[in-house]
Amino acid sequence: MLGALVLDESLGIAAANDGYLLLRRGVGRDLPPQFYDFLYADAARWQSAPEMARFGDELSLVGVESHTNREAEPQVTLYFRVLRQPAADYFLRLYLLDENDVPQGATIFRQPALVWLPTSKWETGKIIRVRFNTLPWWTGDGKHRRFGYAVAVARDGGNPQADPWDESLRLPATGARVLPGNLVPVQKFYRLAGMAYAE
């Protein structure tokens, strides 16, 4: 992964911790395990959290946090319990829902967490934190007074050519509330005076 971000092959990793890198010339390029600490959630808090939904027999959604401010599109952080180490690199795709839960948009790029730690490297028993902060839509256009987000897990591995609307690529989802196409609603929002608020 480092090679894709740092083209100068003479630069290596002098130190790495909690998502931060210190580069230096003439040292190795292997990422130490502690680099990924920013992706692991507090197990004591989330291990006992009730399951919101399950994707196949590998991943369980156990938590959602919303992040809103006036200048940016609302973001969410989703917490996944790894039931079994995934055999493939899945694409965790977020969908924009209208007020009637009809999908209107979909993320097309992997979120940073999945760039650094693809799902095939997720270890059984870990709680993985994925913040969705590269969203291709804008709900502050006055047309979206109420809207929501849903998540699906796709088998396309983050291929940018994959069709986000191809339901056959999605893992089966089960839970208290699953929309057609194996979409799991995770958060509803409303806008008031231009500001988005989580319901």
Q: What is the pLDDT of residues 12-42, one digit of tens each?
A: 665 655 455 666 676 666 666 666 677 788 7
CATH number reported for the structural domain that contains residue 61 in this entry: 2.60.40
Instruction: Please tell me the distance from the alpha carbon of residue 115 to that of residue 35, in angstroms, as a whole number.
Output: 13
Distances (CA, A) of 151 to 22, 36, 84: 34, 23, 19
Q: How confident is the model at residue 189 (pLDDT cuts 50, 70, 90)?
A: very high
Same domain flag for 66 and 29: no
Q: Note the pLDDT tens digit of each residue in 103-143.
A: 999 999 889 889 888 999 999 999 999 999 999 999 988 88
Same domain flag for 141 and 44: yes
Residue type, 55: F
Q: Which residue has the higher pLDDT, 100 or 49?
A: 100
- 3-class state of residue 9 by DSSP: coil
Same domain flag for 17 and 51: no
Distances (CA, A) of 91 to 25, 87, 109, 153, 155: 34, 13, 9, 6, 6
Same domain flag for 94 and 165: yes
Count: domains in the chain: 2
Same domain flag for 28 and 56: no
Same domain flag for 45 and 19: no
Spell out the long-range contacts of 29-34 with Cβ–Cβ below 8 A and sequence spacing 24 or more.
Answer: 29/2, 29/3, 31/1, 31/2
Average pLDDT over residues 176-190: 96
Same domain flag for 26 and 113: no
pLDDT at 13: 65
Q: How confident is the model at residue 3 (pLDDT cuts 50, 70, 90)?
A: very low
Same domain flag for 17 and 102: no
User: What is the reported pTM?
Assistant: 0.85
Instruction: Please tell me the distance from the alpha carbon of residue 158 to that of residue 170, in angstroms, as a whole number.
Output: 12
Nearest 10 degrees: Cα torsion 145, 175, 83, 152: -40
**Residues of the chain above pLDDT 90, percent:** 58
Instruction: Please tell me the distance from the alpha carbon of residue 24 to that of residue 134, in angstroms, as a whole number.
Output: 29
Domain region containing 106: 40-198
Please determine, for residue 81, whether its predicted confidence score (pLDDT) is greater than 70: yes
